[in-house]
Amino acid sequence: MMKLSYEQILATLEQKAGLPKDEIEQRVKNKLTQLSGLISREGAAHIVANELGVKLLEPVSGKLQIKNILAGMRDVETQGKVLAVYDLRSFTTSGREGKVCSFMLGDETGSVRVVAWGAQAELVHTLKPGDVISLLSGYVRDNQGRTELHINERAQVAVNPSGVSVNVAVPSSLSESPRKSIKELSDADASVEVLATVVQLFEPRFFEICTACGRRVKPDNGELKCLEHGTGALGFSYVLNAVLDDGTESIRSVFFREQAASLLGLDDAHILQFRDNPSTFEPKKTELLGTIIKLQGRVTRNAMFDRMEIVAKSVDTNPDPKAELARLESS
């Protein structure tokens, strides 16, 4: 099922219904009250769209801009410029070995993580930042609230095709998100940068995943298994929570696997040891408290606790003081 964010729904309704944003939001609030809060904001917005006769999801075909790529889409065609390439990893499932590699792809409308499997992973591993990519037959998944474009043996990938050029809104450093103070943040900030101090750090939380596809596994008849790959490739991933403070306010921050590793300055094997020996995490926590970090991420609202959180996309634990001062003076 394709998923639209609340902000995407509002923007579509503004455009197609010709109503101001504040009026649409009031209709959504009225619908939430009418249904006694037993529906999400997104669900209420879908109902409002239906009442207004607005179709939120039209059939799509042809090349998509990255901003229009949504979880649940199949046979996606797009193109963009490589912003960053990550490590090639091997895994074993049902006695067979596989490989996975990922990279960030950007165009003039945004960026998306592309996850490549099998032979496509070998190709992706040879890419360089700045390469232009055209791809066909990708499929889109939601990973912990992040949209990911996946490619396997069905996909077609062309590297630096003749006559194709791409203007990229996000630079290869991924560091040009607008800088805001924590007090200025809102849950409409899909990409933002903060400079803040780590004032609290919690022990990593571990959860079971399928190492073949990276998805979280679920109980099935009393046994943990991946619905696609069974029990042959079970492993663990982790998430780390911290509280950041920049003098204007504080915010809880969420660091998934790669970002957690960047924050801690440790590799996977070392972090996974904390699962069996959580007390050994204390020295690392003490070391990081008081550290100033630069973080790019997206702001979300945790519905359970009704609070804003920032989900890290990249982390710099050693920002250059001179560069940060120059940026502050120029802003």
Q: Does one domain contain both 234 and 322?
A: yes
Residues 228, 312, single domain; the answer is yes
Residue at 300 is within a domain: yes
Tokens 């050693």: give the residue: 318
How far is CA 156 from each of CA 53, 133, 138, 159, rounded to the nearest angstrom? 37, 10, 8, 10
The tokens for 136 are 């066909």
Q: Quick one: 191 and 326 in the same domain?
A: yes
Q: Is the pLDDT of residue 172 over 60?
A: no
Q: What is residue 195's predicted lDDT score, i.e. its pLDDT? A: 92
User: Residue 57 domain-assigned?
Assistant: no
Token duo for residue 230: 């069974």
**Distance in angstroms (rounded) separating the CA atoms of residues 191 and 9:** 18
**58 located within any domain:** no
- Based on the fold, state whether residues 16 and 139 are members of the same structural domain: no
* Domain shared by 29 and 88, yes or no: no
The residue segments making up the domain with residue 13 are 6-51
Arithmetic mean of pLDDT over the chain: 84
What stretch of H or E contains 26? Answer: helix 21-34
* 319 domain residue, yes or no: yes
pLDDT over 90 at 60, yes or no: no
Residue 24 CA to chain centroid, in angstroms? 27
Query: How many residues belong to the chain?
Result: 331
Q: Is residue 278 part of a domain?
A: yes
> Which CATH number does the domain housing residue 115 bear?
2.40.50.140
Nearest in space to 295 (alpha carbons), one of 282, 309, 285, 281:
309
Residue 169 has pLDDT above 70, yes or no: no
Of the pLDDT bands very low, low, confident and very high (cuts 50, 70, 90), residue 1 is very low
Q: What percent of the chain has pLDDT over 90?
A: 34
* 172 inside domain: no
**Do 151 and 189 sit in the same domain of this protein?**
no
Tally of CB atoms within 10 A around 259: 21
| Concatenated DSSP letters of 284-304 | HHHHHTT-EEEEEEEEEEETT
Q: Does 166 map to a domain?
A: no
Within this chain, do residues 194 and 277 fall inside the same structural domain, yes or no? yes
Is residue 174 a part of any domain in this protein?
Answer: no
Query: Distance (Å, rounded) from C-alpha 119 to C-alpha 51?
Result: 47
Q: Give SS3 for 203.
A: coil
pLDDT for res 171 = 45
Q: How many domains does the chain have?
A: 3
What confidence tens digit (pLDDT) does each residue in 229-277 have? 777 678 889 999 999 999 999 999 999 988 999 999 998 889 999 999 9
